[in-house]
Amino acid sequence: MALQSAAAATLLPSAFSIPKEEMWYLLQSKSSAYLKNSTLLGISLSDHVKADSSSCSLRIKRDCNQRNLAIQAVATTPAINVSTPEAKKTLRKGSVVITGASSGLGLATAKALAETGKWHVIMACRDFLKAERAAKSAGIAKDNYTVMHLDLASLDSVRQFVDNFRRSGRPLDVLVCNAAVYLPTAKEPTFTADGFELSVGTNHLGHFLLSRLMMEDLKQSDYPSKRLIIVGSITGNTNTLAGNVPPKAYLGDMRGLVGGLNGLNSSAMVDGGEFDGAKAYKDSKVCNMLTMQEFHRRYHEETGITFASLYPGCIATTGLFREHIPLFRILFPPFQKYITKGFVSEEESGKRLAQVVSDPTLTKSGVYWSWNKDSANFENQLSQEASDVEKARKTNLVEVEDFTEY
């Protein structure tokens, strides 16, 4: 299937390289709509999503240099010992990567965490200057943040970001997948550098690769609680009123995603249907919430990483709605404030996400957090589709070999 071949080539972690002849095979298979009964990078092309990497017919080479770099990077960070109260006092600053921290929820979370003095925030942003300016105008102290370039709409950029991060020598204690695009008025699909429909390509696939790569860095963290957080939303959950506003999220059998989301030999939509920008965003949020759960099932026990998702509330004033019609942008905030009462300020939403990052009591993995009217957090119920185990498996497109055992 095209995504498994195209994306297999592109989504491959940089810690692996593919022999030339096998790359040729991947390129060949990119144009083939249906490849049956072969496996690629541990994914069965016959059923799209076989998790069993033992059936891998193509070999993946490991790039030991890459791995060594990661180990060196972590070795330079001071070790902590939490066994005594004294040691607790000297707990080093946590190190958190937040994607899309140049505005809205990401920026507010960066600010909330930086203000505690306990966190160094790596703002992973596509627009370096905008992020620097945003950090300055939010009043984030220089010592508490670093801006690093990341364009989630390019898998090369994702890999480059991970390399740069490792070179920085900082540990990774928490990764927050926050960035997103929403294209509700688009009539035709647009695409990422790798040819995936832009909303799902950015919001889900870019974050998926980033998460899979950075899980290795998280594993090596000696911080008391290491976490990988993927921002979800109510509008992807059809067990809510908000989730029933058309167009509703629906992934179907995910044939479009499996086919490459390229709008050529496959649909640009996950479910294989006609392009709809608002639906694509909601579908991407379902993918985000499914991915979190799949990560939990696959990696929580082995890595000790807490995987979580959340609905931060309706932050009706953010840049997310920049592509919506002007009338919507005017009416949406008062509608949410006075009618649905689902409105939260950017500041409040930032505190919520910061809580999921740093609250020592929120260590439960596999949870979708929400907040009630008094801003008290609770474990929320996901819709049937957003909890579907089979669909969750399909969001994990690349089965990556465990490369901890050198």
Q: Which stretch binds ligand LMG (CB under 6 A): 150-158, 161-169, 204-212, 334-342?
A: 334-342
The site map against ligand LMG for 339-368 (x = CB under 6 A) is x-----------------------------
- Distance from C-alpha of 260 to C-alpha of 349, rounded to nearest angstrom: 34
Which lies closer to ligand NDP via its Cβ, residue 29 or residue 146?
146
Which lies closer to ligand PMR via its Cβ, residue 199 or residue 211?
199
The site map against ligand PMR for 151-180 (x = CB under 6 A) is ------------------------------
Of 37-96, which residues contact ligand PMR (CB under 6 A)?
none
Which of 199, 368, 214 lies closest to 281 in space, CA to CA?
Answer: 199
Name which position in 233, 266, 284, 365 contacts ligand PMR (CB under 6 A): 233
Q: What burial class does residue 252 get, using C-beta atoms within 10 Å of its C-beta: 0-12 exposed, 13-18 middle, 19+ buried?
A: middle
Residues 328-362, buried b or exposed e (16+ Cβ, 10 A)? eeeebeeebbeeeebbbebebbbbbbbbbbbeeeb
Sign of CA dihedral 124, 125, 129, 132: negative
- Distance from C-alpha of 160 to C-alpha of 142, rounded to nearest angstrom: 24
Which of 64, 46, 66, 44 lies closest to 56 in space, CA to CA?
Answer: 44
Q: What burial class does residue 273 get, using C-beta atoms within 10 Å of its C-beta: 0-12 exposed, 13-18 middle, 19+ buried?
A: middle
Length of the chain: 406
Binding residue count for ligand NDP, defined by CB under 6 A: 31
Relative to beta strand 39-40, strand 227-231 is: unpaired
Which lies closer to ligand PMR via its Cβ, residue 134 or residue 231?
231
In which residue are the tokens 């669909």 written? Answer: 391
Which entry of 25, 145, 182, 281 is annotated as an active-site residue? 281
Of 306-335, which residues contact ligand NDP (CB under 6 A)?
311-312, 314-316, 318-320
Which lies closer to ligand LMG via its Cβ, residue 184 or residue 259?
184
Does 132 interact with ligand NDP (rule: CB under 6 A)? no
Q: Which does 392 bind (CB under 5 to 8 A by kind): ligand LMG, ligand PMR, ligand NDP, none?
A: none
Which of 27, 398, 44, 48 lies closest to 205 in space, CA to CA?
Answer: 398
Of 273-332, which residues contact ligand LMG (CB under 6 A)?
278, 328, 331-332
145 given a catalytic annotation: no
DSSP label at 314?
B
Which lies closer to ligand LMG via its Cβ, residue 359 or residue 379?
379
| Residues in touch with ligand NDP (CB under 6 A) | 99-100, 102-106, 125-127, 130, 150-153, 178-181, 202, 231, 233, 285, 311-312, 314-316, 318-320
| Residues in touch with ligand LMG (CB under 6 A) | 184-185, 239-241, 244-246, 278, 328, 331-332, 334-335, 338-339
